[in-house]
Each structure stands twice: as C-alpha cells, then as structure tokens.
Amino acid sequence: KNEVEQSPQNLTAQEGEFITINCSYSVGISALHWLQQHPGGGIVSLFMLSSGKKKHGRLIATINIQEKHSSLHITASHPRDSAVYICAAAISNYQLIWGAGTKLIIKP
C-alpha cells in the first residue's frame, strides 16, 4: 500500500461540473501539498495545508488530520482546469511523499 494514495486516477467531466479529487495518507505529516501539472509539463503549487480549509478562486482544499484525508475541489470547472493534480505529504521540512496524480479532463 502506498503511503499517499489519490483517487480517482483519471477523471473526465463536462464543463461546469463540480470536481472532487481525494488524497489519503498513512504517515505523520507536517503539511499536505496540492500541485498542478499542465500538459506542457510545468508544476505549480496550489495549496499547502496543515489544517482546515483553503480557498483560491474556484479551487478549495480541505484536510482532516484525524482521518488523514484531504480533498481538492474545483467549482464551475472549465477546460483550462484540465491537468494532472498531485498531492504530496510533507514528512520533514524538505521530504515530500508524492501521490501518483489524478489526470483531469474537462470537456467543453
């Protein structure tokens, strides 16, 4: 069993749909990161969470420390949201355990 597991692995949805990507971890963490990787390959950090919830535009990230679970939500999804979304668990000030990523495709 991987220490950081994401689901689903692939997700295809229609423009406008509400999207949820899940991340479960089995290790002790100091923070949980969500990152986005576009088809061009660049990796961008979206959120870093150690508790509660964060919101940026149409993106919302939540974390439940007791359940060792985090979710990334996208409201009013758009084709430009199509990307791979990766969660990563910070187990030290520099070490991240990476999830395998969720490939999201939003169809117009």
Partner 1 sequence: DAGVIQSPRHEVTEMGQEVTLRCKPISGHNSLFWYRQTMMRGLELLIYFNNNVPIDDSGMPEDRFSAKMPNASFSTLKIQPSEPRDSAVYFCASNRGVSRETQYFGPGTRLLVL
Q: What backbone phi and psi angles, to 5 degrees, belong to 106?
A: -110, 120
Least distance between partner 1 and beta carbon 94 (Å): 5
* Sole window of 12-20, 58-66, 74-82, 93-101 interacting with partner 1 (rule: CB under 8 A): 93-101
Q: What backbone phi and psi angles, to 5 degrees, belong to 80?
A: -70, -10
What one-letter code names the amino acid at 38? H
Q: Does 45 bind partner 1 (CB under 8 A)?
A: yes
Q: Does 90 bind partner 1 (CB under 8 A)?
A: yes
User: Could you count the other beta carbons within 10 Å of the beta carbon of residue 102?
Assistant: 22
Q: Residue 22's closest CA among 105, 101, 107, 106?
A: 101
Applying CB under 8 A, among 27, 43, 76, 105 the residue interacting with partner 1 is 43
Contact 70/61 with Cβ under 8 angstroms? yes
Applying CB under 8 A, among 28, 39, 44, 108 the residue interacting with partner 1 is 44
Binding footprint of partner 1 on the chain (CB under 8 A): 30-31, 33, 41-45, 48, 50, 86, 88, 90, 93-96, 98, 100-101
